[in-house]
Amino acid sequence: MCSVKSGLKMVTTTTATTTINKTVDLRSDTVTKPTESMRSEMAKAEVDDDVLGHDPTALRLEQEMAEIAGKEAAIFVPSGTMGNLISVLVHCDERGSEVILGDNSHIHVYENGGIATLGGVHPRTVKNEEDGTMGISAIEEAVRTPKGDLHHPVTKLICLENTQANCGGRCLRVEYIDKVGELAKKHGLKLHIDGARIFNASIALGVPVKRIVQAADSVSICLSKGIGAPVGSVIVGTKSFIAKARWLRKTLGGGMRQIGVICAAALMALHENLPKLEGDHKKAKFLAEGLNRIDRVRVDVAAVETNIIYIDIPEDPKFTAEDACKSLEHVGVHVIPQSKFRYVIYLHL
Ligand SMILES: Cc1ncc(COP(=O)(O)O)c(C=O)c1O
């Protein structure tokens, strides 16, 4: 028997001893729903026109996020994708300039090539190692600064991702980021961090966000992932960077009016849910250990540092990862099919 709940099939499964009547949605930490307290904050939010720069709740959120990240200023944007796009475009302000980024990075794999199609920015990919890093020497070899060679685009920017989602939510360490920052400085480049899950990295490493991103010129931080806000991201950086970002956000159609309504939910999410990320990480580890005990299923438990678990099913044409996903779907466990497939743990699980 099936019933429909939130667009997903709710499955009733009867085993010899018990009847399970629920879905478990492990597709992503983006599927969280606003809590009662977020909805109540939204209802009473003070608002004004944010395009004109006067929404008090947006200003409060931006100030708080700038403080958390240890940067001069911040701006709310509708999505992490727009946060990354704006950041890359501000740093690579001449068409045809180049950004060095991971071949498995979200910006490169999942953001529709927006930096190239909309910004004329050339992506130079460097291999992401299993731990989410790119080799320091590999980055340095990829740098192309002006040497009078008219064949090459000029490198302007390096992008890191922390946590690195496609590498299983791995955390980039402060020492590593500082080294990349030094390299960027040495070559006159900027450093941007896609910090969609920087709060997860901060909790897992036990290091404040501001220290992790100290070497970065800009960071895009998602509010609608682990901490569970319904909408939005924030970009942080210097005042002059954010002023340019504000201009570009308007160009891209991301200037919104009474956004205090959604910023109020984000503020509540920040205050209420940040401390809960540690619980997500513990659950992910626990689940990974359990999965690893299942025959034919392999999880690198040590690599589960935050809320993402990558599950490997050995190559077998008779039972592929896709078949496994279908079987899980059948019993009400929703995952996104990939060659390896992943479980993502979040607030409501
Ligand atoms: C690492 C990373 N960066 C950026 C994004 C983009 O965020 P959004 O979906 O809000 O555009 C995501 C989304 O899942 C992500 O995982």
- To test the pocket of ligand 1, the residue of 82, 86, 87, 110 to mutate (highest count of ligand atoms within 8 Å of its CB) is 110
Ligand 1 atom 7, closest CA = 80
> Could you identify the residue written with the tokens 């930490």?
29
90-140 pLDDT per residue, tens: 999 999 999 999 999 999 999 999 999 999 999 999 999 999 999 999 999
What are the start and end residues of each CATH 3.40.640.10 domain in the chain?
37-274
Q: What is 37-274's CATH topology?
A: Aspartate Aminotransferase; domain 2 (3.40.640)
Of ligand 1's listed atoms, the one at least distance from the Cα of 161 is 1
Looking up tokens 């904050």 gives 41
Kindly give the interhelix angle for 198-205 and 277-292, rounded to the nearest 10 degrees.
Answer: 80
Which residue from 76, 82, 106 has its CB within 8 A of the most atoms of ligand 1, so it is best to mutate? 106
Residue showing tokens 């030094």: 182
Distance 229 CA to ligand 1 centre (A): 13
What is residue 11's predicted lDDT score, i.e. its pLDDT?
Answer: 53
Identify the pLDDT of residue 5. 41
Q: Which atom of ligand 1 is nearest to the CA of 194?
A: 3
- What is the Rg, in whole angstroms, of the alpha carbon atoms belonging to the chain? 21
CATH 3.90.1150.10 domain range(s) in the chain: 2-34+275-344
Which helix H or strand E contains 331, and what residues bound it? none
DSSP tag of 121: P
* Span from the CA of 120 to the centroid of ligand 1 (angstroms): 21
Question: What is the atom index within ligand 1 of the atom nearest the CA of 197?
Answer: 1
CA dist., res. 318 & res. 299, Å (int): 20
Q: Which atom of ligand 1 is nearest to the CA of 163?
A: 1
Cα–ligand 1 centroid distance for 299 (angstroms): 24
Q: Which residue has the higher pLDDT, 341 or 86?
A: 86
Give per-residue pLDDT as tens, 307-338.
999 988 777 778 777 788 888 888 999 987 76
pLDDT at 133: 98
Could you tell me the pTM of the whole model? 0.92
Fold of 2-34+275-344: Aspartate Aminotransferase, domain 1 (3.90.1150)
In this prediction, residues 188-201 reach a mean pLDDT of: 98
As for ligand 1, residues whose beta carbon falls within 6 Å of it are 30, 79-81, 84, 106, 161, 165, 194, 196, 222, 224, 233
- Mutating to test ligand 1, I would choose from 81, 107, 159 the residue with most ligand atoms within 8 A of its C-beta, which is 81
